[in-house]
Structure 1
Amino acid sequence: MNKTKFLSIFLPLCLLPLLLAKLALHFGWFEGGTVSKGEWMPEEVFALPALAAHEKVWRLAVVPAKDCEQRCEQGLHTVQQLFIGLGRKQVQVQPVLLAASKDTAVLQQFPVFQHQHPTQADTAAIGNYIVIVDVQGLVLLRYPLPDADHLPADIARDIRTDLLKLMNYDRIRV
């Protein structure tokens, strides 16, 4: 096989995958962002204060819109069951009730939760959601509170999947 014949076969075979990739990007023939189950926050929301250097835990926060009613209590129950199901990884997670007012009756009913006030006054973007908060206090992912459309077991499974991925890829502990 001579040199020109080799190049005339080799170059199109090398350029074909690049051309197909360009077409796939241009026409949107793939689904991007399907790795995580939750909804990534569109803007930065620092809902909790940053932790000290020795405190390296992820926080699962239940954020009611106003008062903790039925959906909020269902969300607290879901996160509590998820927290119990984490087993030995519980030391890396802290459940938080993120509300402006402290409801002691709810906190007595769900003893694993710690009450904290939001650091930003405007928490409308995360109201009525369960959120995953990193060590710096940044909200990363949000999940709707359980209701008729969103079953608690499905939400807990989605949160667990994303939380375990985040904990595995966390480089702060290294």
Structure 2
Amino acid sequence: MSSLELNKSRRSMLILLAVFIIPIVLAKLALHQQWFNYGVTNQGQLIENELTLAKLGLSVDKFNHQWLMLYTMPASCDEQCEKTLVSVNNTYIALGKEMPRVKPVALTQQDLSTAQVEKIQIKKWHIQAMPALSKTVIEQSQVLIVDPLGNVILSHVPPKDAEQLPAFGKAILADFKKLLKYSRIG
């Protein structure tokens, strides 16, 4: 074998090794250097500790095993709270053909005013006083996504600024659409 053939053979072998090794090395670096977002597709905060409707003092059977868009309202519902309530109602309406699978629920710490009731589709909503058990578990106003089995899956904290409410509603809508698309229950 001549030296020219030997060099050509070595070069071919090195190219072959490089083709297989370089992608593995780059993938390992990307993983350790966190160059990419991990597979996060949800917009809300995933509930890590097990939280169920029973732990909130609510019964699963009361909601006919539907998905819940559960808005835990603050102690006093000011203008921002009202806007959030309207935004959650609009998000519910934006579900379109999936609306029958979802029940909007408001846990209130005081009765809703007439003006607040007029701003939402009251016949579709389930409005209930917040159980004492819920007050110990829930520390802030938020929108919780609850599956038909009564497990709280995601939490969305309302923004402080009214200008961010459309993005807030879109985030809830995106999460719901994805969950309803892949769910066979509810």
Partner of residue 46, structure 1: 52
The partner residue of 1:139 within 152, 155, 165 is: 152
Partner of residue 19, structure 1: 25
The partner residue of 2:126 within 114, 117, 136 is: 114
1:49-78, Cα deviation, whole Å (9 max, x unpaired): 5645x9442211111232333333222111
CA RMSD of aligned residues (A): 3.1
Residue 77 (1) aligns with residue 86 (2): yes
TM (norm. structure 2) is 0.73
- Output aligned runs, 1:28-43, within 5 Å: 28-43=34-49
Unaligned runs of 5+ in 1: none
1:156 corresponds to which letter in structure 2?
A: G
- Output aligned runs, 1:79-118, within 5 Å: 79-99=88-108, 101=109, 103-105=111-113, 108-109=117-118, 110=120, 111=122, 112-116=124-128, 117=130
CA distance in 2 between partners of 1:158 and 1:120 (Å): 24
CA distance in 2 between partners of 1:77 and 1:151 (Å): 13
1:98-146, Cα deviation, whole Å (9 max, x unpaired): 24x4625467443032124456553335x21122111222222222224
The partner residue of 2:165 within 148, 152, 160 is: 152
**Inter-CA distance 151–18: structure 2 relative to 1 (3 Å threshold):** same
CA distance in 1 between partners of 2:95 and 2:87 (Å): 13
**Aligned 8 A contact 2:43 2:172 in 1:** yes
CA distance in 2 between partners of 1:155 and 1:105 (Å): 24
Q: Which runs of 4+ in 1 moved over 6 A?
A: 1-5
- Number of residues paired by the alignment? 170
**Inter-CA distance 153–86: structure 2 relative to 1 (3 Å threshold):** same
CA distance in 1 between partners of 2:126 and 2:159 (Å): 20
**Aligned 8 A contact 1:62 1:72 in 2:** no
**Inter-CA distance 77–146: structure 2 relative to 1 (3 Å threshold):** farther
TM (norm. structure 1) is 0.77
Unaligned runs of 5+ in 2: none
Percent identity between matched residues is 27
The partner residue of 1:123 within 127, 131, 137 is: 137
